[in-house]
Amino acid sequence: MSATHGTASPEAPELSGDAVATHCPYCALQCAQTLTRTPGARLPLEVAGRDFPTNRGGLCQKGWTSAEVLRASDRLTTPLIRTADGGFREAQWDEALTLVSSRVESLQAENGRDTVAVFGGGGLTNEKAYALGKFARIVLRTPFIDYNGRFCMSSAAAASNRAFGMDRGLGFPLEDLGGADAVLILGSNMGVTMPPFVQHLAGARERGGLVVVDPRETVTARLTHGDRGIHLAPVPGTDMVVLLALTHVVLAEGLADQAYLRERTTGLDAVRRSVAQWWPERAEAVCGIPADELRRTARLLAAASPSRGGRGAYVLTGRGMEQMSQGTACVSAAINLALTLGLVGRHGSGFGPVTGQGNGQGGREHGQKSDQLPGYRMITDPAAREHVAQVWGVNPDVIPGPGVPAVKLLDSLGREGGPRALFVHGSNVVVSAPNADAVVESLKRLDLLVVSDLVPSETAMLADVILPVTQWAEEEGTMTNLEGRIIRRRKAVDAPGQARSELWILGELARRLGVLGGFPDDPRAVFDEMARASAGGVADYAGIDYDRLDAGEQIHWPCPDARHPGTPRVFLDSFATPDGRARMVAVDHHAPADDVRADAPIHLVTGRVLQHYQSGAQTRRVDELNDAQPAPFVEMHPLLADRLGLSEGQDAILTTARGVAVAAVRVTESIRPDTVFMPFHWAGAGSANRLTNDVTDPISGMPEFKVTAVAIAPALSLDPTIPEEVSAP
Amino acid sequence: MKVLVIGNGMVGSRFVDELVRRDPDVRVTVLGKETHEPYNRVLLSSVVAGKTAPDSLAMATADSDRVDVLAGVAATHIDRAARTVTDSRGQRHSYDRLVFATGSQARIPSIQGIATDRGLIPGVSVLKDLDDAEGIVAAIPKARRAVVLGAGVLGLEVATGLASRGLAVTLVHHSDRLMERQLGDAASRIATGSLTRLGVTVITQTSVAHARDRRGVLSAVTLTDGTELLTDMLVMCAGTIPEAALARGAGLPCERGILVGADLASPADSSVFAIGDCAQPPEGGTGLVAQGWDQASRLVDQWTADAVADRAAQPSEQVGADLTNVVRVKAMGLDVVTMGLSGKFDHGERDLRAVRMSDPAIGRFVEVVVSHGLLVGATVVGDKQCASELSAMYTRMLPVPSDPAHLIIRPLASAARPAATSVADMGDDHTVCQCNSVPKGRIVAAVEGGCGSVEDVSRATRAGTGCGDCRSLVGDIIRSCAAAQEANDAKVPALAGSMEG
């Protein structure tokens, strides 16, 4: 047990013999937890919050109840193989793995190596994510790997990379927020998605400087009440217009940080010209926010910024504005505002996207992305290929070129020339991907679907082979949280039955597919190799190892060598661009791809509730969470409900260009009357992603989850158009 | 394809930028009379008001080697038969398509004494370009009084802008009401009240007859009713005239502006187009940049075939309504927005539902006009929130509530929050801790079970262990339980006492 010795520190606290220090299984805040073993009890351990700079001891209901998932009643404990009658039968590991490897071999012999694809997840540990990317590239030797982080951080990553030459998520410790006079939050509802985060907003709230941009009056938006700040509720899909108008006001009123712009940025002139056309009165008619409110907000942010004598300001973005077909541009607009105010790369101010998935940061750094190798290296860069190939002990030519992003990958499955086999790890695409009905069709076209999961998720139920894996308190590893801080996940209990780590599974499959060695099942060994592979890359972990982490060091990457303390705050001296300056990229607004129209005149936005995480595969198996949030719903304003003839609790039928869903109505004044909201955690008739648009951002490949046009009507009982549940054949 | 664009203003430059982005083969020559780069003319009144720095007005221009912009070069002659345009340097340019984006010029009313052979006398100006704006700004420090002629949008913006800079401003208007094309009597009266509060004197149903100067510099104006006003400045905001002379000279049909069809082409020559203020489309020119930009986009769509399908889905094409005619006064302290049907129109028309609220005491007036479930017009004075929501609803053609009255009472945003519920008013099922779904009842039970501090309650119920925001509320609940307990305890001896007495 690694956490029981050494000096007391957040990452290596003094704990009694039966206690283990780890972090929550869910979101990117990665709240610190203490797990205490409870032999003989219904659950194998007890969870408590642990003091840590990010969560300060806090946990939300998901975290408190996370032990329930260890003993989910339908937890997968043995490999399952689909039978001729469409059911599953239990199998031994050897049989299941040999079946998988022989099917892969024959499909590849028939159709070429590209016929196998891999879909990863942002919840996998760094070690698993790294091993999965390596497995795809040198065992399967397919270019086709991507992951659900494409649905999460890709727009923010693309915009950060093009502006700063690097994407480190927040780029500063979360605690820094507390000292700022203003925090601008766009499209994130952390009051619900990562509640302990809210503690870091206390300083800005005290000084009246919390600004929340969200079409809904969310829990987070309500934190602005009582003169704590400003809530702007734009028309869905127009966050970009808000940002362009704010930047317009900053420049027009002479509030910009001219010295910073001169010394640390390029591209101001083009940005100045692009925002010249977004004066507040014009923006008002597009985004629905009064011009003077936009001015007031811009002045508040400017007054907080260091060049105007303020204590600092932060601009934070979330999925609400990133999951758009203009998501990358939208984040660029946020970055431009932050740069105009002189916030980025400055102690006490900054810009950052708020990462969502547990290892959304690390998951995007180590080779799960279709175009990247470990260390956030581009797969097309010959030097990067050379370096990684050397670590992997292969010829660089063995490593395939870039694949395709997630939505395109899923769409291509089973089509002419597309992959015929798919491995899914840590993802439940049937619920979490856009245009979910089409995703089900894609998976059904496959000759071989292999899903590794904890529980029989909706995606697993479509598989030919299901492999049971370990989770959270059953495994060792590392995660990289939303601040780019590398943290340790530690084992407290054994996994039930035959469940095994993906590291072991990948090694066994590699061996069966003729690659001997290179896939150890010891996470520490995988981490050490990953650190070497990342050396010299953008996300450089070379100086990090388990010993340093277990000794209690707080390390944020980049950390190029063993004596390097890590980099809590990035860009303080210069940006990671060739000339060391941040690049401002001029962008303009366009309407959503599937915009409101006469026969679909309402905006549908999707999001989350506190009690559930992502596709709900874990949280829907926790009674306490289900009791609090049992079923899908559609939130609407009383005026809209009145017009549609709907009332509280009644079922509404929602129709978009892609699909139909049914959900119970919740009437609330906290949403615009031109907009409805659905959480996306459920499968079946109420699955929000049957409705969402799979059109993608041209740069990031991010789908437009966050806004589409919908028609709504009361659902009649026995209505034949109500879709069937997605279920296993 | 060779395209020649005459005019390098807000509409011309936007058109060229979009065109070269969308059409990879097109080559464009732009003849721009002004030497300035294209800039945002809409914000000139904000420059006058001191709210916008002149250097932030420059607009984006096409970044392409397929565009040749000749700044400071005017078009002087068009030979439509030969498809050539001659410029002020005598150079000839051939074209496949010719686009007029020549804009408009300020209308200068016939007022005695405002001009000499050298032009307008010092102190008298219009506000049409950056030089005008900078001239006015330069004169402000020495000026005490100003007269603004014309109470259209620009006149209101200039009058309030100058007033905000400390000048005594008189606004002179020929009609009996302000913005007479957009406002009815009641709305105009309320807007006038707002202007008065901002220190602007409003005189209607009159005009400026002549100007008097002292040593060549404006010193006073006399109105048509004989009133004389001492003034240091006269800004004429008396409307604009489409710049159509060149087109007229080329034999193209023109009325007020250059006549074009719905396809923005001249009915006399299918290779000649006009967009922006110089054009007179079937629905009429509004003089708003939104219309010009919409025309620029439409023309590019029309010329690039792939866009046709996309465009067909656009709301503006579905019903042929002009959604660009949102008129918005940019002035601090004076909020006037109109769109679609507004001012004096036939309220008796069958399919229209018009609902009006007039609230002069606080300077508020709202009228909404609804037809077939859609907002087709609105007039809003003195209610920013309502105005912004109605404009978004109008431009996006969003359905209105069953009863249009809701648009006035409280439009899109929810009503002001009720004050936070006090602990006593909370039901037992009221969720106190959102992060852990803990209702008040469970907290009360924990307190009754012996928890005496917030920490105790947190341990027992997890309330306050997420974001921590409810901790003070948990404290309140503990205190209220304690108070109730005390009252309860006190009751017994009190009762006993009364029995004794």
Residue B478, pLDDT score: 93
Residue B469, pLDDT score: 85
Quick: pLDDT tens for B201-234.
999 999 999 999 999 999 999 999 999 999 999 9
Instruction: Inform me whether the pLDDT recorded for A475 exceeds 70.
Output: yes
For residue B417, list chain A residues with Cβ-Cβ distance below 8 A.
Answer: 225
For residue B415, list chain A residues with Cβ-Cβ distance below 8 A.
Answer: 669
The answer to whether B139 faces chain A, any CB pair under 8 Å, is no
| Residue ending a domain, choose from B341, B374, B409 | B409
Together in a domain, B382 and B433:
no
Contact A673, A637 (CB under 8 A): yes
| Bigger pLDDT: B302 vs B414 | B302
Question: In order of start, what are the domains of chain A with their CATH numbers?
Answer: 2-71 (2.20.25.90), 80-149+368-523 (3.40.50.740), 154-353 (3.40.228.10), 602-714 (2.40.40.20)
In a domain, B405, yes or no: yes
Say which CATH number the domain at B393 has. Answer: 3.30.390.30
* Two structure tokens written together for B171: 């606004």
Residue A606, pLDDT score: 96
Of the pLDDT bands very low, low, confident and very high (cuts 50, 70, 90), residue A726 is: very low
Instruction: Inform me whether the pLDDT recorded for A639 exceeds 50.
Output: yes
Instruction: Inform me whether the pLDDT recorded for A1 exceeds 90.
Output: no
Interface test with A, best of B391, B412, B467, B469 (most A CBs within 10 A): B467
ipTM greater than 0.85: yes
The answer to whether A227 faces chain B, any CB pair under 8 Å, is no
Residue B138, pLDDT score: 96
Contact A284 B412 (CB under 8 A): no
E strand intervals along B44-144? 67-71, 75-79, 84-87, 92-94, 97-100, 104-106, 115-116, 119-120, 124-126
In a domain, B446, yes or no: yes
d(CA A350, CA A570): 10
**Residue range A152-179: mean pLDDT, rounded:** 96
Together in a domain, B225 and B122:
yes
Amino acid found at A440: V
Residue B487, pLDDT score: 81
In a domain, B309, yes or no: no
Beta bridge partners of B380: B337, B366
Residue with tokens 């006149």: B155
Say which CATH number the domain at B487 has. Answer: 1.10.10.1100
In a domain, B317, yes or no: no
Contact B396 A254 (CB under 8 A): no
Together in a domain, B223 and B156:
yes
Residue A5, pLDDT score: 41
Of the pLDDT bands very low, low, confident and very high (cuts 50, 70, 90), residue A12 is: low
Task: Give the closest of B318, B387, B388 to A598, CB-based.
Answer: B318
**Residue range B425-444: mean pLDDT, rounded:** 90
Together in a domain, B233 and B248:
no
The answer to whether B57 faces chain A, any CB pair under 8 Å, is yes
In a domain, B109, yes or no: no
Residue B172, pLDDT score: 98
Residue B421, pLDDT score: 64
CB interface of A with B, residues 669-708, below 8 Å: 669-670, 672-674
Distance of CA A414 to the CA centre of its chain: 27
Of the pLDDT bands very low, low, confident and very high (cuts 50, 70, 90), residue A4 is: very low
For residue A56, list chain B residues with Cβ-Cβ distance below 8 A.
Answer: 468
Quick: pLDDT tens for A103-114.
999 999 999 999
In a domain, B231, yes or no: yes
Strand pairing report for A313-317 and A350-353: parallel
d(CA A642, CA A404): 45
Virtual torsion, Cα A561, A567, A572, A577, nearest 10 deg: 60
Quick: pLDDT tens for B84-115.
999 999 999 999 999 999 999 999 999 999 99
In a domain, B127, yes or no: yes
> Using the 8-state DSSP alphabet, how is residue A137 labeled?
I
For residue B318, list chain A residues with Cβ-Cβ distance below 8 A.
Answer: 597-598
| Residue ending a domain, choose from B347, B375, B409 | B409
In a domain, B146, yes or no: yes
Percentage of chain A beyond pLDDT 90 is 95
Closest CA to A547 of A470, A486, A472, A504: A486
Together in a domain, B127 and B233:
yes
Together in a domain, B10 and B80:
yes
Say which CATH number the domain at B139 has. Answer: 3.50.50.60
Together in a domain, B135 and B229:
yes
Together in a domain, B31 and B87:
yes
Together in a domain, B13 and B32:
yes
Quick: pLDDT tens for B252-262.
999 999 999 99
Largest separation between any pair of C-alpha atoms in chain A = 72
Rounded to the nearest 5 degrees, what angle is found at the Cα of A637, between the Cα atoms of A636 and A642?
100
The count of structural domains within chain B is 4
d(CA A682, CA A687): 5
Quick: pLDDT tens for A277-297.
999 999 999 999 999 999 999
Residue B351, pLDDT score: 84
Together in a domain, B31 and B135:
no
Residue B349, pLDDT score: 74
Together in a domain, B145 and B210:
yes
For residue A197, list chain B residues with Cβ-Cβ distance below 8 A.
Answer: 467
Residue B320, pLDDT score: 46
Quick: pLDDT tens for A485-510.
999 999 999 999 999 999 999 999 99
Q: Is the peptide bond before A558 cis (omega within 30 degrees of 0)?
A: yes
User: pLDDT averaged over chain B?
Assistant: 90
The answer to whether A175 faces chain B, any CB pair under 8 Å, is no
For residue A610, list chain B residues with Cβ-Cβ distance below 8 A.
Answer: 434-435, 437
Percentage of chain B beyond pLDDT 90 is 75
Residue A445, pLDDT score: 97
Contact A64 B465 (CB under 8 A): yes
Element (H, E) at A283: helix A280-287
Residue B491, pLDDT score: 66
Percentage of chain A beyond pLDDT 70 is 96
The answer to whether A421 faces chain B, any CB pair under 8 Å, is no
Element (H, E) at A693: strand A693-696
User: pLDDT averaged over chain A?
Assistant: 94
The range of the structural domain enclosing residue B91 comes to 2-104+241-303
DSSP, residue by residue, A14-73: ---TTEEEEE-SSSTT--EEEEEE-TTSSSSEEEEE---TTTTT---HHHHTGGGGGG-T
Residue A222, pLDDT score: 95
d(CA B244, CA B359): 43
Quick: pLDDT tens for B120-146.
999 999 999 999 999 999 999 999 999
| Residue ending a domain, choose from B378, B409, B440 | B409
The pTM of the full predicted model, rounded to 2 decimals, is 0.92
The answer to whether B413 faces chain A, any CB pair under 8 Å, is yes
Residue B490, pLDDT score: 73
Quick: pLDDT tens for B312-352.
444 443 344 577 889 999 988 899 999 999 998 887 777 89
Together in a domain, B234 and B251:
no
Judging by beta carbons within 10 Å of its beta carbon (0-12, 13-18, 19+), is residue A564 exposed, middle or buried?
middle
**Residue range A250-275: mean pLDDT, rounded:** 97
- Percentages helix, strand, coil for chain B, rounded to the nearest 5? 35, 25, 40
CB interface of A with B, residues 573-592, below 8 Å: 586
Those residues whose C-beta lies under 8 Å from the C-beta of residue A250, and which sit 6 or more positions away, are A256, A298, A301, A302, A337, A340, A341
Residue B346, pLDDT score: 80
